[in-house]
Amino acid sequence: MAELTDVVQQTVRRERGRIVGALLRLGGSLDAAEEAFQEAALSALEAWRREIPANPGAWLMTAAKNSVRDAWRHRAVADAKSSVLAQDDVESRENPDTVSDDFLRLVFTCCHPEVSRDNQIAITLKVVAGFETAEIARAFACSEDTISQRILRARQTIEEKRLSYTTPERDELGARVSAVLGVVYAMFNEGHTGTTGPLMRLDLQAEGLRLGRLLCDLVPRDAEVFGLFALMAFSAARAGTRVDADGVPILLAAQDRAAWSKDLLREGLMALSRARSLEGRGPYVLQAEIAAAHVTAPAWEQTDWARIVASYDELGAVAPSPIVALNRAIALSMRDGPSAGLAALAELEGPLGDYHLFYAARADFLERAGKNPSRDLRKALALVTNDGDRRLLERRLASQRS
């Protein structure tokens, strides 16, 4: 029986997005769509005991639509809407265009810009990916109550503002895709650099990659979609080499490059190649270009810093931010030397004065210029909130004193 539960779970997991999305198209309400899907999943557990259907996904879809129909009948709206459902049933073969539209509708709804970032991530993991509230809470190292609240608030926003009723217009599509990419990337990053708690949470990273890959299939003409996937693949390829046995981060310069995952590097390089063939170089494509320069360098010392500085220049033009400027300064210090880096940092102390990595970078430049970095390391330590980074800074400071 364990096997049956596995089949049901896998099918439910895989088919959830497109089925809930299709029900959303038919009924308009996220709550009703989810409820119908849950009922279908429960009935599968019972019905598949006798025989697992040849096409489990189609079985679930039919069961879920029947469940919607029952609910309508119950609320006496069946007459008005049943023709829509009947019409839809006629298309028995799954058309990839309809399926991807349905899936996208659900993703766009959960990642709607009107919903706040934390709530977007929580409801996406719950509704699109099908995780339990407890699992999500564990992944974010916060209480179940917190996650329940986020999901609830997201649902309220979606219902109140009727966000699921609107499919984006074509000229709006880019902005909506970009909102989804932001959610996926935030989810992925939460997997390896939480502001509190343990550093590595591979499940969120895997989920981010899975959603990223899915988006490549759903929106195959958007360069940024492939840029984000490449960026995440390059990062995931290095996952096992990012912290030492004590959980302290290992800087890129010291990571074991031979241990990086070749399969993931290839995924990233192929996605970046696709991104380059499409129009537009947005923030994700440019960050992927920078990551590609790093992961293809045979050694830290042989990194193509000129290419990286050029990509940061481009990135700073499309998406200027103090963090981009900080990273550019680091690349510049590698291309032109520590004093060039220090000069580039001078104007960043204002905006980044409370960011520990600003002082960590300045400490590095000072040390390479033959000066004492202790003051900056102490400033960084006073600001750091991440346990791994704190231990790394403590080590650096200790090596100064010895």
Partner 1 sequence: MPDYMLMVLENEGEHAAQSPAAMAALIEQRAQFAGRLRRAGKLRDHGRLRPSKEGKRARRDGARLVVEGGPFAQHGKALNGYYWVQAASVDEATQLAIECPALASDQIDIRPVMTGRGDSEKEAKPGKIFGVIVLGNAVTEDAWVEVMDRIDAETHANLPDSFVGGVRLEPPRSGRCVETRGGRRAMFDGPFLESKEVVGGLFFIRVTTEDEAVRWLEATRHGVHGAIEIRELWRS
For partner 1, the binding residues (CB under 8 A) are 14, 18, 54-55, 57, 93-97, 99-100, 216-221, 226, 257, 260, 262-263, 265-266, 269-271, 273-274, 276-277, 292, 295-298
Query: Whole-number minimum distance, CB 59 to partner 1, in Å?
Result: 12
**C-beta of 276 vs 391, nearer to partner 1:** 276
Taking the complex as a whole, how short is the minimal distance between the CB of residue 113 and partner 1, in angstroms?
Answer: 22
Residue (136 or 271) nearer to partner 1, CB = 271
Those residues with Cβ within 8 angstroms of residue 303's Cβ, 6 or more apart along the chain or in another chain: 293, 294, 297, 334
| Residue recorded with tokens 């499409």 | 278
CB of 312 to partner 1, least distance (A): 19
Using a 10 angstrom Cβ sphere, with 0-12 exposed, 13-18 middle and 19 or more buried, the burial of residue 333 is: buried
Q: Identify residue 259 by its one-letter amino acid code.
A: A
In the complex with partner 1, the residue whose CB is nearer, 239 or 325, is 239
- CB-nearer residue toward partner 1: 103 or 358: 103
Helices of type H across 91-237: 96-110, 117-123, 133-139, 144-160, 173-190, 202-218, 223-237
Q: 257 or 335, CB closer to partner 1?
A: 257
Task: Select 152 or 259, whichever has its Cβ closest to partner 1.
Answer: 259
Least CB distance to partner 1 at residue 302 (A): 9
Q: Hey, how many other C-beta atoms are within 10 angstroms of the C-beta on 164?
A: 23
In the complex, what is the shortest distance from the CB of residue 11 to partner 1, in angstroms, rounded to a whole number?
9
Of the pair 129, 219, the CB lying nearest partner 1 is at 219
Q: Which is nearer to partner 1, 96 or 370 (CB)?
A: 96
249 bridge partner residues: 243
CB of 105 to partner 1, least distance (A): 13
Decide whether 94 or 336 has the Cβ nearer to partner 1.
94
Distance CA 92, CA 88 (A): 8
* CB of 216 vs partner 1, minimal distance in Å: 6
Q: How far is residue 360's CA from residue 374's CA, in Å, rounded to a whole number?
A: 10
| Least distance in angstroms from the C-beta of 83 to partner 1 | 24
Asked whether 238 and 260 are in contact (CB, 8 A), the reply is yes
For the chain, the helix, strand and coil percentages under 3-state DSSP, each to the nearest 5: 75, 0, 25
Nearest approach, Cβ of residue 93 and partner 1 (Å): 6
Rounded Cα distance between 94 and 109, Å, is 22
For residues 198 and 201, what is the distance between their CA atoms, to the nearest angstrom?
7
CB of 71 to partner 1, least distance (A): 26
Angle between helices 96-110 and 2-27 (to 10 degrees): 80
Neighbours of 335 (CB within 10 A): 17
Question: Which CB, 225 or 348, lies closer to partner 1?
Answer: 225
Report the alpha-carbon distance of residue 330 to residue 363 in Å, rounded: 11
Residue 361's contacts (CB-CB under 8 Å, 6 or more residues apart) are: 326, 329, 330, 341, 345
Q: Report yes or no: 345 and 364 within 8 Å, Cβ to Cβ.
A: no
Integer Cα distance of 210 and 358 in angstroms: 33
